[in-house]
């Protein structure tokens, strides 16, 4: 599960890291306490004639399928289980045709001991940020189209199972193009390959307790004293 994350990277660096040719999110600023329904940057490969165009654009973090009558759903969709997303009506069309990456410099989980919940930050050590496997959809039931997105989750790795039984799926760079390829019809096989690759990739990370998440600033990533 992932219900809070940080992304303290400027837009120009995101464009450079993902080698994006288009940017549709001109007003992005770093944030350290991103919650579901917030507007976040996502990375997609948009089909354009014979070649895909790498694009960074805004999305509402909580996927709403195109067929929904309302933008707000009665159940949470900021995460999608990797084991069932290809079958669930909410997510299966996105698995097939609309996959994305969601960049994050850290994400947060809470550990409960003695009735006290302590937030922990999980950060990569081998890369400047995570690129989480995600899905997106375009909801057209309102006055203007709204792009929405979700993070895929899998069982926690051994290193993180004490903290939470689920984890988001950070993909290595060599898998980005495969995951984003708009010519690939997504399936459970593709997701399972991503789960395996992400487990190995997320062995390179650090996890440490932080102070309660209040406000939105870089101090949220400082180790708790």
- Please state, in angstroms and rounded to a whole number, the distance separating the CA atoms of residues 55 and 52: 9
Residue numbers of the domain that contains 168: 5-221
Confidence of residue 94 (pLDDT cuts 50, 70, 90): very high
Diameter over CA atoms, the chain: 58
Q: Write down the pLDDT at residue 157.
A: 86
Q: Please work out, in degrees rounded to the nearest 5, the angle formed at the alpha carbon of residue 15 by the alpha carbons of 12 and 17.
A: 105
pLDDT at residue 8 greater than cutoff 80:
yes
More confident residue, 2 or 7: 7
Q: How many folded domains does the chain comprise?
A: 1
The average pLDDT across 149-162 equals: 92
Query: Which pLDDT tens digit goes with each residue over 101-147?
Result: 999 999 999 998 888 899 999 999 989 999 999 999 999 987 899 99
The average pLDDT across 36-54 equals: 89
pLDDT at residue 175 greater than cutoff 90:
yes
For the chain, the straight-line distance linking the first and the last C-alpha, in angstroms and rounded, comes to 26
Q: Write down the pLDDT at residue 142.
A: 79
Q: Which has the closest alpha carbon to 118: 191, 223, 192? A: 223
Q: Write down the pLDDT at residue 180.
A: 97
More confident residue, 153 or 27: 153
How many other C-beta atoms can be found within 10 angstroms of the C-beta atom of residue 59?
24
Q: Write down the pLDDT at residue 49.
A: 67
Query: Which pLDDT tens digit goes with each residue over 47-88?
Result: 876 778 999 999 999 999 999 999 999 999 999 999 999 999
Helix (H, G, I), strand (E, B) or coil at 175: helix
Q: Write down the pLDDT at residue 119.
A: 95
* CATH code of residue 110: 3.90.1680.10
């Amino acid at each position: 599960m992932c219900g809070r994350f940080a992304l303290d990277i400027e837009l120009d660096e995101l464009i450079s890291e993902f080698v994006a040719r288009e940017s549709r999110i001109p007003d992005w600023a770093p944030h350290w306490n991103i919650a579901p329904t917030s507007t976040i940057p996502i990375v997609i490969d948009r089909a354009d004639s014979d070649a895909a165009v790498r694009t960074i654009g805004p999305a509402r973090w909580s996927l709403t399928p195109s067929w929904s009558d309302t933008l707000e759903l009665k159940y949470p969709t900021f995460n999608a289980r990797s084991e069932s997303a290809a079958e669930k009506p909410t997510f299966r069309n996105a698995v097939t045709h609309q996959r994305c990456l969601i960049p994050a410099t850290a994400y947060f989980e809470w550990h409960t001991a003695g009735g006290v919940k302590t937030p922990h930050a999980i950060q990569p050590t081998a890369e400047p940020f995570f690129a989480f496997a995600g899905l997106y959809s375009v909801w057209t039931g309102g006055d203007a189209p709204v792009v929405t997105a979700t993070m895929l989750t899998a069982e926690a790795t051994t290193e993180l199972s004490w903290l939470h039984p689920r984890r988001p799926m950070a993909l290595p760079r060599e898998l980005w193009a495969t995951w984003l390829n708009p010519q690939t019809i997504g399936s459970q096989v593709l997701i399972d390959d991503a789960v395996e690759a992400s487990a190995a990739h997320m062995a390179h990370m650090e996890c440490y307790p932080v102070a309660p998440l209040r406000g939105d600033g870089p101090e949220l990533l400082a180790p708790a004293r």
